[in-house]
Amino acid sequence: MKVFDLAQPMRRGMPQSPNHPAYQHSLVRRHGDMVRAGGGSAANDILVLGTHVGTHVDALAHVSQDGLLHGGVVAADVQSDAGFARLGIDEFPPFAGRGVFLDVAALHGVEVLPPGYEVTAADLEAAAGDLVINAGDAILVGTGWSRRFGEGASFLGTAEGVPGPGEGAAQWIAARGAAVTGAETIAYERIAPGAGHASLPVHRILLVEAGINIVETMMLAGLADAGVREFQFILAPLKLVGATGSPVRPLAVVP
């Protein structure tokens, strides 16, 4: 059995969207600060973070269209200081089912797709090939972009854009009845050079229209390198009541 770790490491200064509170980590108590009579000592930490930093899952409550969340839920009616009474990340049932990896970078014979490249439905169809996709599967889309996580600002693609699924690809995924879908960039979108995150059509299609949760900033290079296309996919976001997302440590388990 092999377990693939599909999360990027979380540390201060990692690339993340400036729209969300930056990840902060500090040791509060270090060993030696307070030693108990018997010689024992405990260290601990404080974390501050947005729910859309690092590898994370978007809750359906994250995006609305014309004031409505998925299923026609009126956003204004369900948001409060307690978060979202409906469609928060706590409503996402932990996933432990079949996952498939559609490696579009490999399809095109590259390690990393170029910035701004739009993944199309035809790309996904071709990457799937003879791999059967069932309703309820998790579909992970490979662009190779996770290999650039260490490059900092350019990973965000503010200037040059990032590769990602276009609207056609999103419709294709929705039509397959995916339980959840994930990719390697900060936003599960194709971002054109210089465009930023001003418009997020794929989020609308998946989260609002289709009710399919999105995993972002995944580390998929390991699956690509091993040529793994099918696996048990584990996605267990924190049970953050009412939150619009959660950091997560997704796994791919191969027998």
Q: Scanning residues 180 to 239, which ones bind its own copies (CB under 8 A)? A: 198-200, 203-204, 232, 234, 236-239
- Pairing between β-strand 138-142 and β-strand 95-103 as defined by DSSP bridges: parallel
User: Quick check: 140 binds its own copies (CB under 8 A)?
Assistant: no
Least distance (Å) from its own copies to the CB of residue 233? Answer: 11
Residue choice 15, 16, 54, 152 for contact with its own copies (CB under 8 A): 54
Name residues contacting its own copies, limited to 22-51 (CB under 8 A).
22, 24-34, 36-51
Amino acid at 175: A
**Pick from 99, 115, 165, 245: which binds its own copies (CB under 8 A)?**
245
Strand pairing of 79-80 and 83-84? antiparallel
- Subset of 90-109 contacting its own copies (CB under 8 A): 90, 93-97
Work out how close the CB of 175 gets to its own copies at its nearest, in angstroms, rounded to a whole number: 22
Q: Does 72 participate in binding its own copies (rule CB under 8 A)?
A: no
Q: What is the DSSP letter of 218?
A: B
188 Cα distance to chain centroid: 7
Q: Give the DSSP letter of residue 221.
A: H
Q: Does 55 bind its own copies (CB under 8 A)?
A: yes
Question: Is residue 9 part of the contact set for its own copies (CB under 8 A)?
Answer: yes
Q: Cα Rg for the chain, rounded, in angstroms? A: 19
Tokens, residue 241? 């009541």
Contacts of 164 (CB under 8 A, 6+ apart): 117, 118, 119, 141, 143, 183, 185, 187, 188, 189, 190, 191, 202
Instruction: Point out which span in 80-88, 128-136, 159-167, 168-176 binds its own copies (CB under 8 A).
Output: 80-88
Sheet strands side by side (includes 95-103) = 2-5, 251-254, 230-235, 95-103, 138-142, 180-182, 213-216, 56-58, 245-247
Helix or strand or coil: residue 19? coil
| Smallest separation (angstroms) from its own copies to the CB of 181 | 18
Is residue 179 within the footprint of its own copies (CB under 8 A)? no
Applying CB under 8 A, among 19, 126, 151, 159 the residue interacting with its own copies is 19
- Chosen residue from 75, 106, 121, 195 binding its own copies by CB under 8 A: 75
Nearer to its own copies, 88 or 157 (CB): 88
Of 71-79, 127-135, 137-145, 160-168, which segment contacts its own copies by CB under 8 A? Answer: 71-79
